[in-house]
C-alpha cells in the first residue's frame, strides 16, 4: 500500500504543485481551504468540508486509496472539480457515488460491468448515483481511460427516467393532514401561539416568519442581523431574505425584500435585544438566529464528529479564521432551524384538524403560503416571486389540487384570466389522448395561435410557455400572434413592478418567440420555428 501511495505521489507531483501550499489543499466553492491529501500523496482518511451554515460533512476515503494510480488521478481531478463548483450538500451526494464506485472497482469489478449493474440498481440513491456517474464518466473519457469502452459510455448516457421516486409534492396534492398545507383553523391556532409569551421567543419568531413567508430552513439560517431594516422615511420595516438556488457562486449574493408586519418586526427587535453577543465581531454580521456557543467540534463527547478530528492538528474553528467567515462560527445550521420547530411541538395545543400534536416542518409552511396565494388569485409569476423561484416551472404543483378544491379555486381565479388558463392546464390531465392541447389559444382574445407537437401531457402555461418551447408549432395568423404579443408586453410591464428580473426573463423569452412567430407569419425565414405538421 505504501508503495502505491509513493508511486502515485511522484506521478502527481507536478499537478499537485498548482494547488495550495504543499499540494494538500483545494479551495472550495465557498472559499474554504479543504485538505485533501496526506504527506504521502494519498487521500486523507477523512476529508472535512465546512459550509456557511456552520455545518461540516465528513467524506471518508478508505476505498479511494485502494484505486490504481490512473484512476486515482482522475478521481483527484474530479474531486477538485466538484469542490470548486458545488455546495456541500451536492458534493456529499456526488462523493457518495464516488465512494460506491471505488468500493466496487477495488473488489475487481470491471468498469463496464459496474455501469451495467448501476443502471439496474435497486436503491433509493439510484437516481443520484446515475446523475453523478454521467458527470464522472466525462472525466474518464477526457483522460483517455482505456478500460471504459465508448459503447458503454454512450449507452449509459442514454439512460432516462431512472429516478422512480414518488412525487415529492404528493402531500400537497392530497392535502395530507400530517405533511401537507395547514388548514385555516390550524393557521389561526398557530398564529395565536406567536403571541403566547410563555413560549420561547426564538421559537415564536421562527414560527411567525414561517407563517408569513414560508422560508426555506437554509434561508432562515443565512439571515443576519443587518438584514432587518427600518426605513426612516417611509416608516416601513422589512427583511432582506437571502435567495438560494440561484446558481450564484457564493451565499448571500441575491436578496428579496419582505415587508414585515408590526408583530414580526417587534419579535425580531425583541429577539436581537435578548441575545448575548460575542466580542470581537461586528454585531451586524452575526446571524439573526445566533448559536450561544461557537463551533468547537473536536471537544470530547461531541456526537457530531469529535472522532473525525483525532488525526489532525487543525481545529474546526480554524476553517473560519478569515475575517469574512468569523461570524459563521455562531451560525445555526438548517438542521438546527428545523429542530427549533419540531422541538417545540409539545408546547402547542393539539391541531383542531387531527386532534393530535402539530407536525411542524418548514416545508408545510411553504405549501401553506403557496396554497393561500393561489386561492387569493395570485398569478404564476407572482407566486414564483413570493416563494423565491427563478421561474414558474417550479410552482406548477400549487395549481393542481384535488377535484374537491376545484370549485373554490375556480371562484378565486375568475378575475385572473392568465392564472385560470394556467390552472386549467393542470386540472385537465387525461381529457385528451397524448396531447393536452389540440389547439393552443392566447389568453387575451382566445385566438388559436398554433398546435403542440408534444406526444405527452403538458402542464406548461398556454401561450407564455409555448412561444419559447421547441414543441410548439405556430400558425400563420398574424392577428392572433399580435394579440398575444400585446398581452405579453402588458404582463411584463405589470410584473416589473412586483417580481424579480429572473421571473420577468421568462416573459422576455415568450415575447421573443412571439415576435418570431409574427415574422414567420409574414413569410420571413425564422430560425428554430417548428413547422412540423400535426
Co-location of 153 and 179 in the same domain: no
Q: Is 336 found in the same domain as 200?
A: yes
Q: What is the reported pLDDT for 488?
A: 87
3-state secondary structure of 224: strand
pLDDT computed for residue 460 by the predictor: 64
Beta bridge partners of 402: none
Q: Is 131 found in the same domain as 213?
A: no
What pLDDT sits at residue 522?
85
Which has the higher per-residue pLDDT, 155 or 430? Answer: 155
Residue 529: inside a domain, yes or no? no
Whether 184 and 272 map to the same domain: the answer is yes
What digits encode the pLDDT tens for the residues 20-66? 334 578 999 999 999 988 888 889 999 999 999 888 999 999 999 99
Higher pLDDT, 184 or 13: 184
Cβ contact 334:218 at 8 Å = yes
What's the confidence (pLDDT) of residue 458? 62
3-state secondary structure of 114: helix
Give the C-alpha separation, 245 to 109, whole Å: 37
Range of the structural domain that residue 30 is part of: 2-157
Domain presence at residue 375 = no
**Domain match, 203 and 143 both:** no
Please indicate, yes or no, if residue 361 is contained in any of the structural domains: no
Last residue of a domain, one of 121, 136, 157: 157
165 inside domain = no
Q: Which DSSP string do the residues of 299-348 spell out, in sequence order?
A: STT-TTTGGGGTT-S--GGGGG-SGGGGGGGGBPPHHHHHHHHHTTGGGS
Please check whether residue 100 lies inside any domain of the structure.
yes
Percent of the chain with pLDDT over 70: 81
CATH number, residue 261: 3.90.15
Same domain, 151 and 19: yes
| Angle formed at CA 207 by CA 230 and CA 198, multiple of 5 degrees | 100
3-state SS, one letter per residue, for 373-406:
HHHCCCCHHHHHHHCCCCCHHHCHHHHCCCHHHH
384-415 pLDDT, tens digit per residue, is 888 888 877 777 777 765 434 545 445 554 45
The answer to whether residue 300 scores a pLDDT higher than 70 is: yes
Same domain, 137 and 198: no
C-alpha 340, offset from chain centre? 22
What is the tens place of the pLDDT at every residue in 254-294? 899 999 999 999 999 999 999 999 988 999 999 999 998 88
Q: Is the pLDDT of residue 428 over 50?
A: no
Q: What is the pLDDT of residue 21?
A: 38
What integer is the mean pLDDT of 350-378?
86
296 in a structural domain: no
Q: What gap in Å lies between CA 338 and CA 287, rounded to an integer?
A: 16
- Specify the pLDDT at position 183: 84
This model's pTM is above 0.75: no
**Last residue of one domain, picked from the residues 132, 157, 182:** 157
Averaged confidence pLDDT in the chain = 81
pLDDT at 289: 96
Between 438 and 509, residue with greater pLDDT: 509
Q: What digits encode the pLDDT tens for the residues 86-117?
A: 999 899 999 999 999 999 999 999 999 999 99
Question: What CA–CA distances, in Å, run from 410 to 5, 422, 464?
Answer: 67, 11, 20
Q: Kindly state whether residues 144 and 110 are assigned to the same domain.
A: yes
The segment with the largest mean pLDDT, out of 164-178, 306-320, 500-514, is 306-320
Q: What is the pLDDT of residue 421?
A: 54
CB 526 within 8 A of CB 519: yes
Higher pLDDT, 2 or 63: 63
Of 113, 130, 157, which residue is a domain's last? 157
Give the per-residue pLDDT at 461.
67
**Do 147 and 254 belong to one domain?**
no
Residue 530 lies in a domain: no
Cα–Cα dist 438/233, whole Å: 54
User: Given this model, what pLDDT does residue 422 score?
Assistant: 52
| Residues 338 and 407 reside in one and the same domain | no
Same structural domain for residues 19 and 93?
yes
Task: Say yes or no: 132 and 188 in one domain.
Answer: no
Pairing of strands 25-27, 33-35: antiparallel
**Does residue 462 belong to any structural domain of this protein?**
yes
**Total domain count, the chain:** 3
Nearest to 222 by CA among 56, 364, 82, 336: 336
- The cell for 15 is 499537478
Amino acid at each position: 500500500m505504501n508503495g502505491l501511495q509513493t508511486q502515485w505521489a511522484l506521478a502527481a507531483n507536478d499537478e499537485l504543485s498548482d494547488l495550495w501550499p504543499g499540494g494538500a489543499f483545494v479551495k472550495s466553492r465557498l472559499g474554504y481551504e479543504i485538505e485533501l491529501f496526506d504527506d504521502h500523496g494519498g487521500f486523507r482518511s477523512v476529508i472535512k468540508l465546512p459550509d456557511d451554515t456552520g455545518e461540516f460533512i465528513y467524506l471518508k476515503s478508505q476505498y479511494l486509496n485502494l484505486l490504481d494510480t490512473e484512476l486515482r488521478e482522475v478521481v483527484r481531478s474530479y474531486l477538485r472539480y466538484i469542490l470548486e463548483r458545488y455546495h456541500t450538500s451536492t458534493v456529499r451526494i456526488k462523493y457518495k457515488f464516488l465512494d460506491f464506485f471505488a468500493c466496487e472497482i477495488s473488489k475487481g469489478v470491471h468498469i463496464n460491468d459496474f455501469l451495467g449493474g448501476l443502471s439496474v440498481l435497486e436503491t433509493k440513491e439510484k437516481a443520484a448515483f446515475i446523475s453523478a456517474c454521467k458527470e464522472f464518466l466525462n472525466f474518464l473519457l477526457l483522460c483517455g481511460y482505456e478500460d471504459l469502452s465508448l459503447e458503454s459510455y454512450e449507452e449509459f448516457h442514454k439512460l432516462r427516467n431512472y429516478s422512480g421516486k414518488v412525487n415529492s409534492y404528493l402531500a400537497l396534492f392530497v392535502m395530507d393532514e400530517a405533511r401537507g398545507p395547514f388548514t385555516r383553523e390550524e393557521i389561526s391556532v398557530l398564529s395565536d401561539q406567536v403571541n403566547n409569551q410563555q413560549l420561547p421567543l426564538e421559537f415564536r419568531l421562527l414560527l411567525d416568519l414561517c407563517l408569513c413567508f414560508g422560508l426555506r430552513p437554509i434561508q432562515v439560517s443565512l439571515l443576519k442581523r443587518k438584514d432587518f431594516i427600518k426605513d426612516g422615511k417611509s416608516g416601513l420595516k422589512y427583511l432582506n431574505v437571502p435567495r438560494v438556488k440561484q446558481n450564484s457562486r457564493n451565499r448571500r449574493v441575491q436578496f428579496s425584500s419582505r415587508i414585515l408586519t408590526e408583530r414580526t418586526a417587534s419579535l425580531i427587535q425583541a429577539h436581537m435585544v435578548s441575545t448575548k453577543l460575542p466580542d470581537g465581531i461586528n454585531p451586524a454580521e452575526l446571524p439573526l438566529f445566533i448559536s450561544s456557543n461557537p463551533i468547537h467540534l473536536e471537544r470530547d463527547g461531541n456526537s457530531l464528529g469529535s472522532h473525525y478530528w483525532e488525526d489532525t492538528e487543525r481545529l474546526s474553528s480554524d476553517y473560519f479564521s478569515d475575517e469574512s467567515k468569523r461570524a459563521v462560527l455562531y451560525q445555526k445550521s438548517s438542521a438546527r432551524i428545523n429542530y427549533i420547530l419540531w422541538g417545540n411541538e409539545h408546547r402547542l395545543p393539539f391541531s383542531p384538524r387531527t386532534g393530535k400534536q402539530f407536525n411542524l416542518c418548514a416545508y408545510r409552511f411553504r405549501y401553506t403560503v403557496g396554497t393561500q396565494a393561489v386561492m387569493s388569485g395570485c398569478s404564476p409569476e407572482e407566486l414564483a416571486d413570493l416563494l423565491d423561484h427563478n421561474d414558474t416551472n417550479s410552482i406548477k404543483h400549487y395549481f393542481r389540487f384535488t377535484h374537491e378544491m376545484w370549485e373554490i379555486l375556480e371562484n378565486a381565479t375568475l378575475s385572473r384570466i392568465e392564472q385560470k388558463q394556467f390552472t386549467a392546464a393542470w386540472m385537465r390531465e387525461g381529457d385528451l389522448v397524448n396531447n393536452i392541447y389540440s389547439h393552443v389559444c392566447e389568453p387575451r382574445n382566445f385566438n388559436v395561435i398554433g398546435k403542440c407537437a408534444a406526444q405527452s401531457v403538458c402542464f406548461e402555461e398556454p401561450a407564455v410557455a409555448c412561444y419559447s418551447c421547441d414543441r410548439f408549432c405556430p400558425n400563420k395568423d398574424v392577428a392572433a400572434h399580435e394579440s398575444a404579443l400585446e398581452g405579453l408586453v402588458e404582463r411584463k410591464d405589470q410584473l416589473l413592478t412586483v417580481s424579480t428580473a429572473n421571473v420577468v426573463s421568462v416573459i422576455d423569452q415568450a415575447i421573443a418567440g412571439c415576435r418570431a412567430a409574427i415574422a414567420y407569419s409574414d413569410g420571413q425565414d425564422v430560425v428554430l420555428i417548428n413547422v412540423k405538421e400535426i
